[in-house]
Chain A
Amino acid sequence: MNFIHCFQSEWLKKKRSAASWLTIAGAFLIPLILLVERITHFDSLYAENTSPELWENISWKCWQFMAIFLLPMGVIIATSLITQLEFKNNTWKQLHTTPQSFSVIFFAKLAVILTMMLQFFVLFNIGIYLTAVVPSLIFRGIPYPKEAIPFVLLLKVNAKFFIDCLPIIALQYIISLQFKNFLVPIAFGLGLFVMSMIAISWEYAYIIPYIYCTLNFMSKHRHIDPHVHIHLLALAYTTVFIVTGYILYVTKKEKG
């Protein structure tokens, strides 16, 4: 029960915060741009909406921009913002004088970030759906997509990207808990992200924990050993980062 109460309390904190706005705006940005692009290319709308591959095409286009750039960037910023709420408001001392164990606080905060990520994925998929459907609601003669939504396929795609984000979340979480200065986790995250972009054609690129979203998207064009299971690697990194972060947090000498 303690964990649930702590989670509820942490969830309330993000209300009206930059991180919660970022989750909503970030999720709808690409689908909105794509929707505008589809509407401006009105001539091809009919063919697209009657195509048997409509969902795959729209989903691929949306993920193209999201996976390579926006998702890792958004995760870096949102995770840092959530954790920085305590530093910014000088509230660590208040939080650490509540009757809760440090473990509960650590995992409740992490759970909030993961739940926000889930929220982001759900909203992003709603955005993809609207990108496909809205033209048929606005324009006469444009039919509602004929093809049924391939739920299983979309779910698999989402699950893989979600797993690939986890190392970024975990490492950003550790760094953000350690440094008061907001720029440190952001600079660290951006640095690693840029590094992963530079190393994308390297055969050992899979050792960089921020690269998995991009590698997942480029599954057919990547240069790494095809036997390397990047999702398992992502999960392994996540576990190591969380355990390290937990030890660092619990053993911290000053808690506010």
Chain B
Amino acid sequence: MNCIETKNLTHRFSENQTVLNNISLQIPTGSIYGFLGPNGAGKTTTLRLMLGLLKKQEGTISVFNKSVDKHRIEILRNTGSLIESPSLYTHLTATENLAILQKIYQCPKSRIREVLEMVDLSETGNKKVRAFSLGMKQRLSIAVALLHSPSLLILDEPTNGLDPNGIIEMRALIKKLNTDNKMTILISSHLLSEIEKIVTHIGIIHKGSVLFQGTLPELHIKQTLGSVTRFDTNHITRAMNIISENGLQPLLTDGILTAAIAEKEVISTLNRQFVEQGIDVYQISTLQNDLESIFMDLIKN
């Protein structure tokens, strides 16, 4: 079952500026969905549309199987969000900022202390938010998003401004919320390395279009498919023919043959055939694309 589903979401800021082009996303309930894309890809616009901050132009958005257009308030009651930079009243303390939202959500007052402890800000006392570091503000924004114990958390680049330790802690917190509270988490980022350790599903967006959507293992398959094997032999032409006879497309670069091979059994078959044909094999090596380069390849293509 999907927690969020968008169908053919299209958005234009002007006649000639299409920001989103037929975006169809399926975010499963209970998943940590990494929404990846370079800056300006359309991530924030998509998230703002999901939260009703932007007026929808084309397509449909449903959250908890309910249309955002018709059930906005009901949906927001169970949704916590952090969109881009922190949204905090800087002349107030952390507790006062949370008290403002506690009045609206009518959650127990004790929850304020709980969420402050969760993000390690319980000792800030009377310090005004304007005196907080960017990392502290980001953590307080997470506390704001968690105050009413939502079942869906939408985080837009939540690690912005955090130091390496803060990023690790944030990852641990997201993982914990997902595991312990069964919270569905949609997290956007422009760095795959930043979220690949925690996400279960990934959606890659570029120039307003979705380039890939699926589980992390599915992306790994793409990674394997994208790997290249190099053959260093004493007889290039014959080796090239053997590779071609096996239905592959060999390439010759600097005297080394390369071919895109996904299964290791194929490599051993080729090796056996080389030896049987009297070709000396000096080296066989496989270059695996890491997730980052797949991400970059997808974007480039």
Interface residues of chain A, those whose CB is within 8 Å of chain B, are: 5-6, 8-9, 12-13, 15-17, 85, 88-94, 96-101, 253-256
Contacts and interface: CB of A to CB of B under 8 A. Distances in A.
Q: Taking chain A's interface residues, is the majority helix, strand, or loop, or is none over half, making it mixed?
A: loop
A94 B87 contact: yes
Contacts, number: 80
Nearest to A90: B87
Nearest to A252: B55
Given A9-B104, A93-B83, 8 more contacts: A5-B103, A9-B103, A16-B92, A94-B88, A96-B52, A97-B53, A97-B81, A256-B83
| Most A CB within 10 A of own CB, among B55, B83, B103 | B103
A101 B88 contact: no
Given A5-B106, A99-B76, A253 B54 contact: yes
B91 A90 contact: no
Contacts of A5: 103-104, 106
Contacts of A12: 92, 96, 99-100, 103
B293 interface: no
Contacts of B91: 15-17
B136 to A, nearest CB: 15
Contacts of A96: 51-53
Given A93-B83, A256-B53, A98 B101 contact: yes
Interface string B66-81: 0000000110110101
Interface bracket on B? 20 to 34
Given A101-B73, A255-B53, A255-B54, A91 B96 contact: no
B181 to A, nearest CB: 19
8 A-B pairs with least C-beta separation:
A94-B87, A9-B103, A99-B77, A99-B76, A253-B55, A91-B87, A8-B103, A99-B73
Contacts of B103: 5-6, 8-9, 12
A91 B89 contact: yes
A9 B91 CA distance: 15
A98 B184 CA distance: 18
A121 B51 CA distance: 40
B76 to A, nearest CB: 4
Given A89-B87, A89-B88, A91-B89, A254 B54 contact: yes
B66 to A, nearest CB: 13
A131 to B, nearest CB: 32
Nearest to A1: B106
Contacts of A6: 103-104
B243 to A, nearest CB: 56
A98 B89 contact: no
Interface string B39-57: 0000000001001111100
B141 to A, nearest CB: 8
A89 B96 contact: no
A88 B130 CA distance: 12
Contacts of B86: 90
Contacts of B54: 253-255
B85 interface: yes
B81 A99 contact: no
